[in-house]
Structure 1
Amino acid sequence: MRKKKKALIALSLACTMVFGNLSMIPAKAAPATDEVGTNYYVDSENGDDAADGLTPDTAWETLDNVNEKEFEPGDKILLKEGTQYHGTLNPSGSGTEEAPISIDIYNGDVIGEEAGERAAVHSDGEYDCTVLLENVSHWNISNLEVTNKADDNSVRRAGVNVEVTKPGLYSGFHLDNLYVHDVSGTLDGKDRRNGGIYFTVDADKAEIEGKETRFDSVLIENCYVRDVSRTGISMGWTIKDGDSYGYGGILPEDFINNYYHTNVVIRNNYVQRAGGDAIVPMYCKEPLIEYNVGDSCSQNTADNPNAMYNAGIWPWRCEDAVFQYNEVFGTKLNGDGQAFDCDFSRGTTYQYNYSHNNEGGFMLVCKDESLESIIRYNISQNDKRTLFMLSNPNEAVFYNNTFYIDGANIDSGHGGKASMYNNIFYNVGENKSVSWGGNTAYDTNLYYGFDNLPNDANKVEGDPKFVNPGQGGTATLGDMAIDTLDGYKLQADSPAIDAGKTIEDNGGRDYFGNPIADQKTDIGAAEYTVAEPSGVSTAVLEYAIELAGKADTEGVVDSVVKKFDEVLENAEAILARVNGGDASVTQEMIDQAWKDLINIMQYLSFKQGDKTDLQKVIDMASSLDLTKYLEEGQKEFTDALTAAREVSADGDAMQEEVDTAWKNLLKAMSELRIKPDKNALEELVNKAEGMSLEGVDAQVAAEFKTAVMSATAVLNDEQATQQEVDTAKANLQASIDKVSVSVDNSQSEENKEKEGTTGNTSTDNGTTSSSGSNAPAQKAKTVKSVKTGDETNMMFAFMGMLFAAGLLEMSRRKRKNMN
C-alpha cells in the first residue's frame, strides 16, 4: 500500500466545540486594511428598483438589478433580514482572495447572522436554480433561505448551484448558514444541478480537453438542507466523468491536476430527508468531510427500495478523502442504503463516525476501482440488513471499529475483499448464525453473541464488558449525538484491553480522543483509560495538549507566543493535577483549559514582520550628521527614526507596521536638506563692499545696495537653502555688472564734455589736441569703498533693506508650506 500524506485536521473536534471568546489575547489585532467594494441593499418590502441601492433607505426592491450587475471585489449584496423574494438570484463578477464578493442579510447597520432572520429566495419551480453562480471566483453566500418547489419532479432543479462552463481555475467559495429546502428535482439524477447545494463542471467537453477546469478552496458549512430531490450536497461532478474509466482507479496525474477539485471542506451541515444521498464529494483531491449529519435520506425509495442506489455520506472518484466525526442514521432501504460508501475512489478514510439504524447497513465498498480504503475507530449501532456490502476486488481494511448488532447480517455475499483487525462484533439479536464473507480475512477480533465465527487465528470470544452499550443517542438539528457513546467504553476487566493487533499509522487516537501511545492496542473503538477522579474527562484536554506540542511558534508575534506558553503550561498543570488524583479539579476547569488552548492556537498565524529592510533604513539614518543639514525637517526625521527603532524592537510588530515604519523614515530622510556652500557668495559680497558708487546712477546705486544687503542677510542666515544662496549671488552679480556699466557710461559722458571744452577732435588714428600734438586717453577713476551713508541714496537703501528682509521671510514661509 502506498504511503499517504493526509492532513486529517484532528484539531477540528475541539475547534467545532469552541465558539467562544477569542479576545482573551492581549496582543494587538492584525493591522486593519482599507475596505474595498460597495454595499448594495435590497428590501422587497420598502425598496425601489429605480433607486441606487447604495443605502438601506435607497434599497432596490427586487433581484432584477442584482442579476443585471457585474459586481466587483469586496462588493456586498445585502438583503433585508426576513424579506421574501421570488425568482432567481444570479449575480456575476468575481472577487479576490483578499476581497471576496458577499451575499448576506442586513438590518440597519448590522450585517450577518446577528441581523435577524434569513432572507428567503423562492424560485417556485420556474428556474432550474434558485441561486446560481456561473464562472466566477471568490464568493461568500450566507444566511439565506432557499427553495425551489414545483408540482412535479420532471426536470432537474437545484437550490444553490455553482457552475463552471469554461476552462479555468475557480477559487474561493464559502457557503455558510444556508437553509435550503423543498427543491423538486428529478428522482434519480445524481450528477448535475439536482438537489440542495451543487458544485458542477458542465462545460463543453472538447473545449476543456487538457485544460485546468476545476474548483479550489470550497467551504460549505453550517447549512441545513432538507426535503430536496435528489442529493442534499453534491460537490464537484465534472463533464469529464466518462473519461475517468479504464485506469483501474489510478487516474493519470494530468487528469487529476486538471479536473480534481482541491481544498474542499464540507463541515457541520445537517441534511434531512434528501431524496437520495445526503453528501457526496466528487472528483476531489484530499477533501475533508466532518461533523455532518445525514438524517433519514433516500426518501425517494421509501415506497420502492429497488428504485435506485443511495447511501448517506460518500465519495465518488475522490483521492485521499477523509470522513470523520459524521453521524448518519435512518437511511431508507434501497439498492445500497448504507450510512457510508467507498465508491470508485482511492485512499478513502472513514474514522470517528457514528452510524445507526440505517436500513441498508453500515458500509459499502463498491466494485473494482475502490482502492486503499481504510475504515477505523467508528461505532455502528443497530444498522440493519447487513453491515458490509463488499464488491471490491482490491483490499479494504477495517480495524478498531465497534459493531452493536441487533438482527443484521455481517456480509452481503458480494465477494469483496477485506481485512478485519481489532474489531468488536457484539450481537444482541436473535440471528446468531451469520455470513462472514468468503473473501474477508479476520485477525484479532472480539466476537460476542454468535453461533458461528469466521476463521480468526487470534480471535477473542466473550463479553467485551462495555460500560453500557446500545444507548447511543440520535442527532437533532444543532445537536449531534457523536458524544453520546460513552456506553461503548471498556470496563477495567474487559478482555479487549491490550489484546489488539499493533497497526502502524493508526491515527494516534481512539473514537473518544484517547491517545494510543502505549503500543498495547485494545480491541474496539475505545482505548481503555483509567477512571478519572470525580467523573471528569480529560480526553479532549489531552489531545489539545498533544496538538499544542506540535504547533510551530517560530516567527509568531511575542505576545501570542507568551500567551500560548502560559495557556499550555496551565493546561498541562490541570492535567497533571487530575492524574495526580486532585479531586478539586472540576470538569469546567478542564474544559476551560482546552478551550483556552485551542483559542490561542488559532492566533499562531500572527507572524512577526520581516525587519531586514527596516534595519537597512535605520542604519543609514543613524549614520547621518545632522549638523550638516538645515534645521527644517530635522524634527520629523528624528521622530521617524525613533518610531522606526521602536518598531524594530517590538516583537509584536507585524509586516504592515514594519513596512510603514521604514517608509516613513525613508521619506523623512529624503526631505532633509544639506546646508549650502556660501564661499562664492561671501567672495562676491566682499568684492561688492569694496566697490565705489561715485558717479553711479542713483537708481542703480540703490538697487546695488539692496542686493548687497540681501546677499549679506542670506550669508548670515544659517537656515538659508542652496537655492536662496544661488539667487542672492546671481542678484548681487547682476547689480555689480550694472554698477560697472553705469560707471563706464558716466565717464564716457564726462570725456565728451571735456572734449567739447578743449576743442579736441577724434580721428581714426586716436585722440589729437588742437595744437596737433598727441596725448594719452584719460584713465578711469579709482574705485572707492561703498558709502552706505550717502544722503543722496539713503531712501533707496532703506527701501532696499526692507525689500531684502521681505524676500527672505517670503522664501522661508514658502519652504515651510511646501513641507
Structure 2
Amino acid sequence: MKKILTIIFLVISMVVSATNYYVSNTGNDAAAGTTTATAWKTVAKVNSKAFVAGDEISFMKGGVWREQLKIPSSGNSGNPIVFSSYGSGNSPIITGADKITGFVSGGSGIWDVTGVITEPKVVLINRELGTKVASRAACNTTNSWYWTGNTLSVYSSGDPSGLVEAGSRQRVVDTQGKNYLTFTGITFECSNNDGSYMIYTATATAAELKFYNCTFQYSAGYGLQFNGTTSTTNCLVDGCTVRNNQRDGIYVQKDGDITINNCKVYSNGLITTTDHNGIFGWLGGVKITNCDIYDNGRRDILSHGIYQFLTSGPVTISNCTIHDQPNGSGVRLRGSGTVTNCKIYNNSHSGFNLNTNEIYNVSYIINNNLVYGNKVYGIMQGIAKGTGNVNISVNNNTIYNNGSDATIMIVPEVQGLNLRNNIFHGGSSGGLLVSIGNSTGLIHSNNTYYRTGTGDLNYVKKDGLNVPGSGVPTWEPTAVISDPLFININADWHLQSASPAIGKGISITGISFDLDGKTLKSPPDIGCYQSAFILAANPVYLTSFITETNPEAIEIDYNISLAEVVPAVSAFTVKVNSVKRDLTSVGIVDGAVKLTMATPVSKGDVTTLSYVIPAVNPLQSETGAPAEEIPSKSVTNSVITAAPEPVPAPVPVLKDSLPSSIKITVYPNPVHHILNILCEYTSTYSEQEAIIARNSIRIYDLSGRLLLERRLEAGITSQQFPVNFRSGVFVILLVSKGVTLSSQKFIVYN
C-alpha cells in the first residue's frame, strides 16, 4: 500500500509541476511568465529556462521574434514540452531575418542601405520573397535585390525602409538534441544558411518531435529536417505548410518512423544550381498521407515532388495530390515504396520515376491512383536499374494522356511485373500504352487499352516487338480494347453507365476500396474509380419458334426485354431443311426479336437459326448490355398445315419407246447420306449400247426442281452417290439422250 501511495503521489506531483508560460512582444523577461499579464518578452528568456515534461510555452499571436530558439530541455514520452500560441490573429513568427531601415534612394528605383554586415541569403520585401540578382544595376524589377560590401540594394517604387527583412541567423530553431517536443501553430521563417536547416533536430535518436499546424517558409536552406543519425521514432508533421524554401521543403536524413500528414508542400527547391524537392531523403518507414505537393524544384529534370533516396526500407504514400512539378516527376523512388489512392498529374517529367535502386532489392506497389497529363511517362522504370532485384505491381489505376512515348515504360529486365485492372488511355499523347523491355515475370490481365487515331495503331511494345490493337486480345485475352467512356475526358475520369470497363476487373487481395473510398464491387470496375452502376446482365437466348398463324415469321425470346435497337438482316442466318432461307425484315416487338422470311415454312420443315453480333446496332438490353452470339439453334416449328405436294415437271418420253432395256433400283430407301444405285440390263441391251447412249441419273424434288445430275459409268451395275439433301421425298430418273428409261421415288432423312 505504501508503494502504491508513493506512485500516486509522484504522478500527481508530475501533473501539478507542469506549467504554462507566455511570451509576448510587450512582455517583461523579469516577470513570472506564468500568465498572459506576466508574459516574458524574448526568446532568449525561453532559452535560459529549464523546463520539465508537460510544460507549455505559448507565444502571442501576431507577434514576431527575431531570435533563435534553442530548446533547453526534453519532455518525456507521451508528456512532451509544448511550444504553442495564444490569443487571436496571425500565427506568431520566429524568424532568422532582421528588419532593415535607413534606405537611401540611389536613383532608377534602386534603394541602398549600408551596415548590413551579414550577407543575406534570403530577403523579404513587403512580406514577399525577393529575387537575388547578379549586380546592383540588375535591380530593375519588383522585389529584386543585391548585396555587396555590407550594402544591401533593393528595387522599389518608394522608400522600402521597414518593409525589408534580411536573413542574418543560420537557424531559427535548434533542438540541441532534445526530444519529446511538440510545436503547434507557429511560423518559422528565413534561416540564413543556404546549406543548413531552419529547424535543426540533430540527435542520434530523434524521438517524438511533433509539429502541428506550423508554417516553414523562406529558408535559404531546408524548411524542416529530421537529423536522427541512428533512428527516428514516432515523429509527426501534421497540418503544416512548407513553402518557398530554397532547398528541400522537408529533408529526412535517416530511415525512421515519421508521418507527414495533411500538409501543403509547395514552391520549394527554388535554387537552380542544385536539385531539390518537396520532400526528400532516406524515406524508409516514412508515411506521407493526405498531402498536397506541387511546384517544387527549379533545376532541370532532377527535382521532384517526393524523392526517396537510396534506402532499403519502404516509404508509404497515400491519399496525396502530387502535381505541377516544373522540372521533374511527381514521385521518384529509389527504394521500396507503396503509393495508393493518389492523384498525380501535370508533372514536367513522369508521374512515377522508379529508377536507380543500385544494390537494393526493391518492391514498388502502385494501386488506385489517377495519373494523367504528365509530360513524358505515366510510370517509368528507366535504364539505370541497379544490381538488386526489382518487382513492380501496378493495379486499379487510371492512367491517361501521359507523354508522347508511353503511358507506362519498363526498360530493363525486372524480376516481377504485375499489370491488372488498369485503364491505359493514350488520350492525345500519341504514344504507346505499354512498353516493356523484358517481359520475364510479367503477369497482366483485365486491363483496358485505348488509343485515339485511325488504323491498327500499336498499343503495346514488348521485348522489342510491337503489338497493334488487333493483337492485344491474343496478348491479353481478358483485356478490354475500347474507349472506357469517362464522364469528362478532360476533368472527370469516373465511368459513364455504358462504360465497357464496368464489372470487368478482378478482385485483388489487399485492395478493397477505390480512390473515392468506395467499397469495390464484385467483380470490380477497371480503373481507380468504382461507378455507381452495376454491370448490366447480357441478354440470354431462351427459345425461338414459328406459329401456325404466322408461318413466315420466327420469334426469338430472351431472358430480359431487348431495347428497340434493330440490327441488319445480315446478322441472322435461317436455314429451312438445310437450305438458307432469305429474310425480308428484322424487328423488336414487345422486347423480343421478330424475323420475317421471304416464304413461309410448312409442317415438318426443319428450321435452324444463328446470330452474329454486328458492328452496328447489335441486339442489346435496355441498359445497353449486348446480347451474345447465337450458334446454330433449332427453331420450334408449330405449323400443322402441310404444303401441297407439287407435281413433277413432265419428262419427255419417246412416242414409240419400247420397254426399257435397263432399269434402276435405289437402296436403302429411306436413305441418309449415301445412295446406292443398282442398274439391271436386258440381254438385248449390250454394254456397247450403254456406252453410246451415255446414260445419266437426275434427281428432282417434288416441285420439279433439278437437284443433281450425274453420268453413270457404263457396264458398272452398282454405283454410289452422296446426297446432302434436306429431309423429304425425291424422284430419281434414268435418262438416255433426253428420254426417261426408268424412275423411282425415295425418301431422305436427317
| TM-score bracket relative to the smaller structure | 0.5 to 0.7
Alignment of 1:258-277 (within 5 A): 260-262=255-257, 264-275=258-269, 276-277=276-277
Is it true that 1:362 corresponds to 2:351 in the alignment? yes
Give the drift of 1:157: 2.9
**Aligned partner of 1:330: which letter?**
D
* Whole-Å separation in 1 of the counterparts to 2:373 and 2:324: 10
Alignment of 1:435-514 (within 5 A): 436-439=435-438, 441=442, 442-449=444-451, 451-454=457-460, 456-458=475-477, 459-471=479-491, 487-505=492-510, 507-514=511-518
* Whole-Å separation in 1 of the counterparts to 2:267 and 2:404: 23
Flag the 1:525–1:435 CA change in 2: closer, same or farther, 3 A. closer
Pick the aligned partner of 1:41 from 18, 22, 29: 22
Flag the 1:92–1:509 CA change in 2: closer, same or farther, 3 A. same
Q: Secondary structure at the match of 1:57?
A: helix
Which residue is equivalent to 1:146?
188
* Unpaired stretches in structure 1, ≥5 consecutive residues: 1-30, 108-114, 186-194, 203-212, 239-259, 472-486, 533-819
* Whole-Å separation in 1 of the counterparts to 2:265 and 2:62: 23
Q: Secondary structure at the match of 2:430?
A: coil
Is it true that 1:351 corresponds to 2:378 in the alignment? no
Alignment of 1:580-595 (within 5 A): none
Give the drift of 1:469: 2.7
**Aligned partner of 1:468: which letter?**
N
Is it true that 1:118 corresponds to 2:91 in the alignment? yes
* Whole-Å separation in 2 of the counterparts to 1:366 and 1:416: 12
Contact 1:387-1:409 within 8 A present in 2 as well: no
Q: Secondary structure at the match of 2:306?
A: coil
Is it true that 1:323 corresponds to 2:317 in the alignment? yes
Flag the 1:269–1:510 CA change in 2: closer, same or farther, 3 A. same
Q: Secondary structure at the match of 1:415?
A: coil
Flag the 1:200–1:178 CA change in 2: closer, same or farther, 3 A. same
Which residue is equivalent to 1:394?
390
* Whole-Å separation in 1 of the counterparts to 2:27 and 2:391: 61
Flag the 1:523–1:517 CA change in 2: closer, same or farther, 3 A. closer
* Whole-Å separation in 2 of the counterparts to 1:170 and 1:320: 19
1:294-319 C-alpha deviation (Å, 9 max, x unpaired): 111113x1xxx16x443436465263
After superposition, the CA RMSD in angstroms is 2.7
**Aligned partner of 2:412: which letter?**
G
1:187-243 C-alpha deviation (Å, 9 max, x unpaired): xxxxxxxx11111125xxxxxxxxxx32211111111111102111223x13xxxxx
Pick the aligned partner of 1:176 from 212, 223, 226: 212
1:709-737 C-alpha deviation (Å, 9 max, x unpaired): xxxxxxxxxxxxxxxxxxxxxxxxxxxxx
Give the drift of 1:130: 0.7
Contact 1:157-1:183 within 8 A present in 2 as well: no
1:671-695 C-alpha deviation (Å, 9 max, x unpaired): xxxxxxxxxxxxxxxxxxxxxxxxx
Alignment of 1:81-160 (within 5 A): 81-107=61-87, 115-124=88-97, 125-148=167-190, 150=192, 155-160=194-199
Contact 2:31-2:39 within 8 A present in 1 as well: yes
Which residue is equivalent to 2:636?
none
Is it true that 1:233 corresponds to 2:250 in the alignment? yes
Contact 1:295-1:328 within 8 A present in 2 as well: yes
Q: Which has the higher helix share?
A: 1
Moved more, 62-71 or 410-419: 410-419
Q: Secondary structure at the match of 1:225?
A: strand
Flag the 1:387–1:370 CA change in 2: closer, same or farther, 3 A. farther
**Aligned partner of 1:132: which letter?**
D
* Whole-Å separation in 2 of the counterparts to 1:488 and 1:283: 31
* Whole-Å separation in 2 of the counterparts to 1:67 and 1:462: 66
Pick the aligned partner of 2:520 from 516, 522, 525: 516
Is it true that 1:224 corresponds to 2:241 in the alignment? yes
Give the drift of 1:397: 0.9
**Aligned partner of 2:494: which letter?**
K
Q: Secondary structure at the match of 1:66?
A: helix
Q: Secondary structure at the match of 2:378?
A: strand
* Whole-Å separation in 2 of the counterparts to 1:148 and 1:34: 36
* Whole-Å separation in 2 of the counterparts to 1:384 and 1:527: 27
**Aligned partner of 1:352: which letter?**
N
Give the drift of 1:435: 6.5
Give the drift of 1:430: 4.9
Give the drift of 1:284: 3.8
Which residue is equivalent to 1:200?
227
* Unpaired stretches in structure 2, ≥5 consecutive residues: 1-11, 98-166, 270-275, 461-466, 468-474, 536-750
Give the drift of 1:370: 5.4
**Aligned partner of 1:279: which letter?**
I
Q: Secondary structure at the match of 1:271?
A: strand
Which residue is equivalent to 1:528?
531
Give the drift of 1:448: 1.2
Give the drift of 1:372: 1.8
Flag the 1:498–1:435 CA change in 2: closer, same or farther, 3 A. closer
1:403-447 C-alpha deviation (Å, 9 max, x unpaired): 120544225564263332221111221524567131354433211
**Aligned partner of 2:175: which letter?**
L
Which residue is equivalent to 1:72?
52
1:358-381 C-alpha deviation (Å, 9 max, x unpaired): 011111112232512110110012
Contact 2:322-2:330 within 8 A present in 1 as well: yes
Give the drift of 1:141: 0.3
Q: How many residues align?
A: 418
Flag the 1:102–1:416 CA change in 2: closer, same or farther, 3 A. farther
Flag the 1:517–1:497 CA change in 2: closer, same or farther, 3 A. closer
**Aligned partner of 1:228: which letter?**
N
Give the drift of 1:122: 1.0
Query: What TM-score, normalized by structure 2, do the two folds share?
Result: 0.52
Contact 2:59-2:85 within 8 A present in 1 as well: yes
Q: Secondary structure at the match of 1:527?
A: coil
